Chains A and B, each alone.
Chain A
């Protein structure tokens, strides 16, 4: 599904290298997790994959189902099936959440040459999915993420993911700032989307999210590279011993 080879990324305006030759392959239908200390470049990786400005790829490649991601506009990547649940979801005053969702869903359908969803069908689908995530009618009406609590913002990200049904979902610290109940809701939302044709890259700092979303593969990232790859037990190792042992071992 997602294949990243030797990816090197620096900041556009500064002489600062952040990703230093990153290799990662996520197979179709699998859930991969990336764990790593703060500042290791996890968010940068997610931004570069989704096409945010401000970064310069100096080497390497990233492909989604064989298509060169790095060559596409952000909206083309989305239409190709990539989705990023932001670590810090963005507030958009003046744009209603519902309008935002409908615009996004229909834009992607249009890009793929599909019919737009009728207002009625769209509404039915949003309501059902919002209910599962305990997102009430008021949250759907309010401007995107404005005045939402941390947990509400993260649930809203999962709602967008559910509505857009992407092939490759990247979740950047979706667990941060969530209490136990909200974490459960988010994890249930993600698990409900797990399917043979869909892959996940779950970026997290802590093991606890991975109790709910069981990963197939766990990667440890440090200083712009994947330094170790293993099974779910790797997450437990981090939980018990922290990053220092692993980092000492690979250095």
Chain B
């Protein structure tokens, strides 16, 4: 009782100064509902079951902690990709730096424009999947995002979208606190690739809702930016239809605090939903958390969760992953693997893999491991003349290979692999 009171007081204090952006009636209602959800759930504290390993206080604090701007001095990621570029600076759309929001097989609008329209398809998506994703596990920071998000894009793929859509999140202000909300609706048989990269802000809350209709395909590759002091919480809510495909990959390098939530629901038969991630972290203040929830509610669905973490020097990695197979979701094939490679004794990995199955004809497996470099393999490589340093890096990259293999496009995969090699090289 006392705790609940504390929580609601803290939530009210945090929400006191909050104003909701204005739009069409439906959007005002969606935001007000979201705010009501936040009030009802309360903002997370480290006493909450799903925040046991990750302290949310920096994510819920009224003021964003400062984060120094980091200039990596390298070619921005995906720069060589022929893509449609959409730039946000500290969470604000930058029209001058962006391409025109038109493309073959796709309609793209700025979130505010969509929310201002009296009639818009976004009405059936904005906050809708987020709301569904609040049970059985509450995600109050996602509801807060829905309530207050100031910018973002809404994307409707109607055919095979010719170019990947690339959201570039620049960070230029040390105290920026950005809240972006993006929608992607993939119509029947349509295909789209979404790329995201960059730190976005000193503190960033990102929410992505994705609806993939029957036979549609959504491919998502993102990298979260190398700014060491950034704090990030992201949520991806997706619902996928029959014979559709959803694939999401995230690369996280640096950042003091990252929580990536992913909630996927398979509602049509013969669908595929894969979510994967690689994170590499160095130092006491590195904390990375992947929290994934996949629900199978249809026949013959295939899901994969593949997460690899390379940690050193006191870095912390967290994985909370669940596969829920509902009654009747027969022939489900669910796979979950979360592994960490601890490059020294100070790093730690905390994992909570869960399976909950209510159908009898399913194949689900999950595994979680945490270990050091395989000394036998290291010696084998060295005995073939590969210097210790190169051998260690090769084994570290090979540890991440299964997750990188989840990226369907080989060029994108190669680019991320190169970045990881760079990270390793800078640290040896």
Question: Which A residues have a C-beta under 8 Å from some C-beta of B?
Answer: 50-53, 73-75, 77-79, 83-84, 86, 89-95, 100, 103-104, 107-108, 111, 143, 160, 164
Contact = CB atoms under 8 A, between A and B. Distances in A.
A78 B379 contact: no
Nearest to A88: B376
Contacts of A50: 383
B386 A107 contact: yes
A103 B382 contact: no
Question: Chain B CB within 10 Å — which of A73, A94, A108, A164 has the most?
Answer: A94
B129 to A, nearest CB: 34
Contacts of A93: 398, 401
Contact of A94 (B375, B376, B397): B397
A8 to B, nearest CB: 22
A52 B397 contact: no
28 contacts: A51-B382, A52-B379, A52-B383, A53-B375, A73-B388, A74-B382, A74-B383, A75-B383, A75-B385, A78-B385, A83-B383, A84-B383, A90-B380, A92-B377, A92-B381, A92-B395, A93-B398, A95-B394, A95-B395, A100-B381, A104-B385, A104-B386, A107-B385, A107-B390, A108-B384, A108-B385, A164-B384, A164-B385
Interface in B228-249: none
B412 to A, nearest CB: 18
Interface residues of B, number: 24
A104 B401 contact: no
B160 to A, nearest CB: 30
Contacts of A83: 383
A83 B384 CA distance: 7
A104 B397 CA distance: 16
A91 B385 CA distance: 17
Contacts, number: 78
Tell which of A75, A91, A107, A164 has the most Cβ of chain B within 10 Å. Answer: A75
Contacts of A103: 381, 386, 390, 394
Contacts of B394: 95, 103
Nearest to A143: B398
B397 A74 contact: no
B307 to A, nearest CB: 15
A75 B379 CA distance: 9
B380 A75 contact: no
Contacts of A94: 397-402
Interface in B349-380: 374-377, 379-380
B44 to A, nearest CB: 36
Contact of A104 (B374, B377, B384): B384
B387 interface: yes
A178 to B, nearest CB: 20
A-B pairs, top 6 by smallest CB distance, nearest first, are A94-B398, A78-B385, A94-B401, A104-B384, A108-B385, A74-B382
B104 to A, nearest CB: 36
Contacts of A51: 379, 382-383
Contacts of A53: 375, 379
Contacts of B402: 94
A250 B395 CA distance: 47
B384 A160 contact: yes
A100 B378 CA distance: 12
A75 B387 contact: yes
A92 B401 contact: no
Contacts of B376: 90
B383 A92 contact: no
A195 to B, nearest CB: 20
A111 B390 CA distance: 13
Given A51-B379, A73-B387, A95-B398, 11 more contacts: A52-B379, A73-B388, A74-B383, A78-B383, A86-B383, A92-B374, A92-B377, A95-B394, A103-B390, A107-B384, A107-B387
A94 B399 CA distance: 6
A95 B395 CA distance: 8
A148 B387 CA distance: 25
Nearest to A92: B377
A79 B390 CA distance: 15
B413 to A, nearest CB: 13
Contacts of B380: 86, 89-90, 92
Interface string B322-348: 000000000000000000000000000
B417 to A, nearest CB: 12
Which of B376, B385, B397, B400 has the most CB atoms of chain A within a 10 A radius of its CB? B385
B377 A73 contact: no
Nearest to A166: B385
A160 B384 CA distance: 8
Given A92-B398, A94-B401, A75 B377 contact: no
A164 B384 CA distance: 8
Contacts of B384: 78, 100, 104, 107-108, 160, 164
B388 A75 contact: yes
Nearest to B308: A94
Given A94-B401, A103-B390, A79 B385 contact: yes
B399 A75 contact: no
Which residue among B382, B394, B397, B402 has the maximum number of chain A CB atoms within 10 Å of its CB? B382
Contacts of A164: 384-385
Interface string B194-235: 000000000000000000000000000000000000000000
